[in-house]
Amino acid sequence: MNKLQYSIIFGEIRPEISERLSLGVIVVDGENISVKYSNKKLQVLKSLYSQKEYDFVGRVVRGLSRNNKIPSEGIVNYLSRYSNNLLSISKLQWIDLEATEKSKQWLYDTYVKVG
């Protein structure tokens, strides 16, 4: 039974006070690494960032989710160490859940979903 690892994608709103918005989740289920993000939350950043900043963050988040796959856990770990003042990714965390579509959806609903 594969356990899940996950990482949260954050849009940094005010880094000096650690204010941020969870935009998406990266889920590692043993064999696959998938990305799911919220378009609604990404749109919220449009009113908080300049157009240039918003375009950059949107390209990165959409790029991460291209084909809904990231090649390796190493890339997730790299991204968690080298964030910038607009976007950050948390370190991979283990959660004691079996790797099912339902548990992946639960992670998204818990950390990202609006409403």
More confident residue, 7 or 73: 7
- Six token digits for residue 25: 């989740």
- Six token digits for residue 23: 């935009």
- The confidence band for 109, taking pLDDT boundaries of 50, 70 and 90, is very high
Give the alpha-carbon dihedral of 115, 19, 9, 42, to 10 degrees. 60
First to last CA, the chain: 31
Work out the average pLDDT over 86-111.
90
Work out the average pLDDT over 84-104.
88
- Six token digits for residue 17: 């006070």
Alpha-carbon 88 to chain mean position: 8
Give the integer Cα–Cα distance in Å for 63 and 70: 10
Give the integer Cα–Cα distance in Å for 106 and 20: 21
Other CB atoms within a 10 A radius of the CB of residue 20 amount to: 16
More confident residue, 114 or 67: 114
